[in-house]
Amino acid sequence: MAWRKSLQAAIRDLKREQTLLLRDLDAVRARIEELEALTSAPEPRKRTARKKVTRGKPRLSADGRDAISKAAKKRWARYRAEKRKGTR
């Protein structure tokens, strides 16, 4: 039974050591938080020239250009026909 008493004494010593280490760890964590608070302050932004974003020139397909051309010709034909009639 002597081994049991020495084992209990070892456990008690280890728990005491654990308590001391946890207290030290809390102090270290608090110091780390203080230092992080100092370094996490936002730095003032430097003003830089903005780059103008440009898109490429929109392109129509040949079919699209053809459809627009035909529609424009149709409108002009209607305009000229109305002009001949005198309604415009």
| pLDDT, position 41 | 65
List, for residues 61-81, the tens digit of each pLDDT value. 999 999 999 999 999 999 999
Instruction: Give the chain's mean pLDDT.
Output: 87
| pLDDT, position 87 | 63
In a domain, 53, yes or no: no
Q: For the chain, how many structural domains are there in total? A: 1
In a domain, 22, yes or no: yes
Closest to 78 (Cα-Cα) out of 67, 88, 68:
88
In a domain, 28, yes or no: yes
Closest to 74 (Cα-Cα) out of 66, 63, 84, 64:
66
Identify which has the larger pLDDT, 52 or 88: 52
In a domain, 74, yes or no: no
Q: Which domain holds residue 5?
A: 1-40
In a domain, 14, yes or no: yes
Per the CB < 8 A criterion, the answer to whether 82 and 88 are in contact is yes
In a domain, 61, yes or no: no
**In angstroms, rounded to a whole number, what is the distance separating the alpha carbons of residues 83 and 53?**
46
pTM given for the model = 0.40
